[in-house]
Amino acid sequence: MTEQHNENIERADMPCISKADQLSKHITGRIISGQWKPGQLMASERQLAAEFGMSRAMVRESVTQLVGKGVLQSRHGQGTRVCNPMAHLFDEHFGDLPQDSYELQLAVLEMRTVIDGEAAWYFCQRASAEEMQMLVSEFERMEQRRHHAMTPLERAKADLTFHMLIAEHCHQILIISLAQLLYSKFFNAIYGVLGRTHRRTGAYPPHIEEQHRNIFQAICSRDAETARLAAEQHILTTRQTLEQLEPGRQS
Amino acid sequence: MTEQHNENIERADMPCISKADQLSKHITGRIISGQWKPGQLMASERQLAAEFGMSRAMVRESVTQLVGKGVLQSRHGQGTRVCNPMAHLFDEHFGDLPQDSYELQLAVLEMRTVIDGEAAWYFCQRASAEEMQMLVSEFERMEQRRHHAMTPLERAKADLTFHMLIAEHCHQILIISLAQLLYSKFFNAIYGVLGRTHRRTGAYPPHIEEQHRNIFQAICSRDAETARLAAEQHILTTRQTLEQLEPGRQS
DNA sequence: GCTCATTCCTGGTCAGACCAGTACGCTACC
DNA sequence: GGTAGCGTACTGGTCTGACCAGGAATGAGC
């Protein structure tokens, strides 16, 4: 019986699946599962060949397939990277928007509400112990630098690091992809508000650190729902800060 | 000046174009130009490698790319074929239509008007001397068998051969692709009328041979416009034959 | 502290071999 | 004469090991 079954399965599956195809599926799986992230440098062809017990020729064939599909991108002398599957759509729709438009900043905050909330939620559910430890270390580093004088750009980069660390390790391909695109393409739209607040008040918005700590603590206790709420609240407060900076434009 | 130009061209083009990519473009070009037809078996990887002066590995990489794009299809032990670029669309829209429906037969004749007309036109313009000679030979063979008794199926196949010979060598990828699909998918819809006429009258529609000769002679003199008209007239008369077979359904 | 050359790693390319399907022609049997 | 069976000569699939060329990191020399 069992043998019969196996035979059928083999008959149905084997005839068309070459080794290269198998590898392609495996790689795609790793990407979809978030194990390999967009932008990440893959292991070299030689390493992959060793890891999967096949020749480099087969790895190359598989990589060629995936490059053709826009999943991977290889560069001579540099390596092969995972492409961001959302990049194309993102560029298409948000191509060359002016970064300083008020409406764009609101729209970006709208998106951040979803992305940062989900990122915190998935991080709680899926991050490994090592990844959690990375977050702890990063947070401690931020706390230490808390009272040092920082330029708006430094401050923005520190904030970016915190949020991206959560997103990058949330093991959810969609969130990772979108977070990368949002934070890189709209860096100015996101962090311009920091500079403007600093210029007017001589300090950064006061809620940031406390809310970061709220997110951090919820994540530390793996409380996904609380983490999501804390992340959403963080964006909400940021929105209020933005609205106070542009008082005439509130609806 | 010229050197400068070359440099610029190289700078713009070279950096990203690998040998495999070059071959892919070359192969695609041959297909688009009608030099390699859909369904045709390509030269083997070893032959291509020799022809293009590169290693088989590069040919394989190129073929892998094109298989990924659905341009080629390779089968172990058999070879690599050019795919019909219209097959997907065609299947999508005309999936499992009943072959005997009157409306379908009319629709198919409508399409044949365009396809056979254009095929004849392009054949006049683009066929090589060898291809013209092939048509002459085929036509002479048909003339010889003219008075032999033929079953409807044999008769249909002879007709198919004549029309496909023109289409296959018209050097127009779109026409070749569509003709292949139309004549293979709708063989019954196209040639059912032959059998029915034969059953009712004991003979085949009398106009066919004369009109084939008209098409043939126009093509022989490379008179593209006349050839197109002759082909269109052929389909028109076939349509009238069909309508006479189904007298109650004329609109 | 910066520049430049070395070095190592990457993908790109090649040659040659063998395995595993498929097609085709030949042979031998019915 | 026709057909089943077999062998051969192809095809793509896979492996090995080598070398070239581009990029990045490192360290020596200025």
As a whole number of angstroms, the distance between CA A71 and CA A50 comes to: 22
Q: How far is the CA of B133 from the C1' of C27 (A)?
A: 39
DSSP 8-state code for residue A128:
-
- Which of B20, B57, B64 lies closest to A65 in CB terms? B64
Q: Which residues of B touch A69 (CB under 8 A)?
A: 68
Which of the four pLDDT bands, split at 50, 70 and 90, describes residue A123? very high
Q: Are strands A79-82 and B79-82 parallel, antiparallel or unpaired?
A: unpaired
Domain boundaries in chain A?
2-82, 87-249
Phi, psi (rounded to 5 degrees) for A4: -55, -45
B87-249 to CATH, choices 3.90.100.10, 1.20.120.530, 3.30.1370.160, 3.40.50.10540: 1.20.120.530
pLDDT mean over B103-132: 94
Residue B57 contacts A where some CB pair is shorter than 8 Å? yes
Residue A9 in this model has a pLDDT that exceeds 70: no
Q: How far is the CA of A45 from the C1' of C12 (A)?
A: 12
Q: Are strands B79-82 and B72-75 parallel, antiparallel or unpaired?
A: antiparallel
The three-state DSSP-derived secondary structure of B208-232 is: HHHHHHHHHHHHHCCCHHHHHHHHH
Q: Which residues of B touch A64 (CB under 8 A)?
A: 20, 61, 64-65, 68
User: What per-residue confidence (pLDDT) applies to A248?
Assistant: 58
User: What per-residue confidence (pLDDT) applies to B193?
Assistant: 84
pLDDT mean over A207-222: 95
Tallying the residues shown for chain B, one arrives at 251
Does the nearest atom of strand D lie within 7 Å of B78's Cβ? yes
Nucleotide nearest to A53 (CA to C1'): D15
Q: Report the CATH fold assignment for A2-82.
A: Arc Repressor Mutant, subunit A (1.10.10)
Phi, psi (rounded to 5 degrees) for B79: 135, -170
Q: Which of A209-218, B31-40, B238-247 has the lowest mean pLDDT?
A: B238-247
Residue A142 in this model has a pLDDT that exceeds 50: yes
pLDDT mean over A230-235: 96
Could you write out the DSSP letters of every residue in A152-216? HHHHHHHHHHHHHHHHHTS--HHHHHHHHHHHHHTHHHHHHHHHHHHHHHSS--THHHHHHHHHH
Residue B11 in this model has a pLDDT that exceeds 70: no
DSSP 8-state code for residue A40:
P
Q: Which residues of A touch B69 (CB under 8 A)?
A: 68
pLDDT cut 90: percent of chain B above it: 62
In angstroms, the Cα distances linking B41 to B52, B76, B181 are 17, 13, 17
Quick check: B122 and B170 in contact, CB under 8 A?
A: yes
pLDDT mean over A1-26: 58
Chain A residues 1-30 with Cβ under 7 Å of strand C are: 15
Residue A9 contacts B where some CB pair is shorter than 8 Å? no
A61, A67, A74, A75, best to mutate vs chain B, most B CBs in 10 Å: A61
In angstroms, the Cα distances linking A211 to A229, A233, A245 are 11, 8, 20
Which of the four pLDDT bands, split at 50, 70 and 90, describes residue A11? very low
Quick check: B105 and B246 in contact, CB under 8 A?
A: no
Tell if the pTM clears 0.80, that is, is over it: yes
- Complex ipTM: 0.81
Residue A10 in this model has a pLDDT that exceeds 50: no
Which of the four pLDDT bands, split at 50, 70 and 90, describes residue A21? very high
How many angstroms away from the CA of A21 is the closest CA of chain B? 11
pLDDT mean over B127-135: 94
Does the nearest atom of strand C lie within 7 Å of B75's Cβ? yes
pLDDT mean over A14-41: 88
Q: Which of A1-15, B9-23, B164-178, B184-198 has the lowest mean pLDDT?
A: A1-15
**3-state secondary structure at position A85:** coil
Residue A12 in this model has a pLDDT that exceeds 70: no
User: What per-residue confidence (pLDDT) applies to A4?
Assistant: 34
Q: Which residues of A touch B65 (CB under 8 A)?
A: 64-65, 68
Which of the four pLDDT bands, split at 50, 70 and 90, describes residue B7? very low
> For all residues of chain B together, what is the average pLDDT?
87
**Cβ neighbours for B149, distance < 8 A, ≥ 6 positions apart:** none
User: What are the tokens at B245?
Assistant: 């077979």
User: What are the tokens at B93?
Assistant: 């829209």
What DSSP element (H or E) covers B74? strand B72-75
Residue B214 in this model has a pLDDT that exceeds 90: yes
Q: At what angle do helices A102-126 and A224-245 cross, to 10 degrees?
A: 160
Residue A231 CB burial class (10 angstroms; 0-12, 13-18, ≥19): buried
User: What per-residue confidence (pLDDT) applies to B151?
Assistant: 85
pLDDT mean over B179-204: 88
Residue B246 in this model has a pLDDT that exceeds 80: no
Which of the four pLDDT bands, split at 50, 70 and 90, describes residue A241? confident
Residue A59 in this model has a pLDDT that exceeds 50: yes
Handedness of CA B43, B48, B52, B58 (dihedral sign): positive
User: What per-residue confidence (pLDDT) applies to A116?
Assistant: 97
As a whole number of angstroms, the distance between CA B70 and CA B64 comes to: 10
Higher pLDDT, A181 or B98: A181
User: What per-residue confidence (pLDDT) applies to B155?
Assistant: 86
Cα B34-B39-B42 angle, rounded to 5 deg: 75
As a whole number of angstroms, the distance between CA A61 and CA A67 comes to: 10
